[in-house]
Structure 1
Amino acid sequence: MMLAPLLLAGCATVGQDFATHKVDRIRIGETTRDEVQSMFGDPWRTGLKDGQRTWTYGKYRWSAFDDSQTTDLVITFDDEGRVASYVYNTTE
């Protein structure tokens, strides 16, 4: 029983799952913020990159005893609210 807290302390997960199978539906210059939100839900975090709005969807699992797993999608929107660029990465 004393080992359980040690095992639990050896891993951490942040972020949230998102529909990775929909990433290929994103079209640069066409897909809008509303469409992105419809596909993936609310972003895990938001920000600015070079003055343009960014949305990040991601799930990050770190473990001291196993391989870490990360999946993220960072979408940058232009001034008209359309996708300007995106980056999708996963270790799965």
Structure 2
Amino acid sequence: MKKTIIVLALLSLFSAGCVSTGKNFSADATKNIKKNSTTRSQIHGWFGYPYMTGIDNGDTTWIYNYSKSSVAGKVMVKDLYIVFDENGVVKNFTFSTSFPDEMKLTK
């Protein structure tokens, strides 16, 4: 019985130590984004509502962010920054990640 309690206590400690912020999004879907072609509604359909919105040199920006921290202190982050023109079409975008299984997408 003591062994079971110790194991459960350790499991709860480790699971409580993992923290994530933002909403996870599909890194694979970033391959579908095309400058001067992809629309705001398509982006919304693929990724949902942005984490933040803003203005960059007069253009609307949407930012998607997700981060995950482990008990061991390892932090992984991915960001998608999208700039739309006045017609709601992607003017430019950047995707960056430190998730190992997604890093191949940035090459």
Q: Is the TM-score greater than 0.5?
A: yes
Question: With CA pairs under 8 Å and 6+ residues apart, which has the higher RCO, 1 or 2?
Answer: 1
Q: In the alignment, what sits opposite 1:61?
A: 68
Secondary structure class of the residue paired with 2:77: strand
- Give the ranges of 4+ consecutive aligned residues of structure 1 lying more than 2 Å apart after TM superposition: 10-13, 61-66
TM-score, reference length from structure 1: 0.82
Higher helix share: 2
2:90 is the counterpart of 1:87: no
Which 5+ residue runs of structure 2 have no aligned equivalent? 1-8, 100-107
1:37 to 44, 62, 80: 44
Secondary structure class of the residue paired with 1:48: strand
Which 5+ residue runs of structure 1 have no aligned equivalent? none
Question: Structure 1 CA distance, aligned partners of 2:58 and 2:18?
Answer: 35
Question: Structure 2 CA distance, aligned partners of 1:66 and 1:29?
Answer: 40
Higher strand share: 1
The number of residue pairs the alignment matches comes to: 89
CA-atom RMSD in angstroms: 2.1
Larger radius of gyration: 2
1:24 to 24, 28, 31: 31
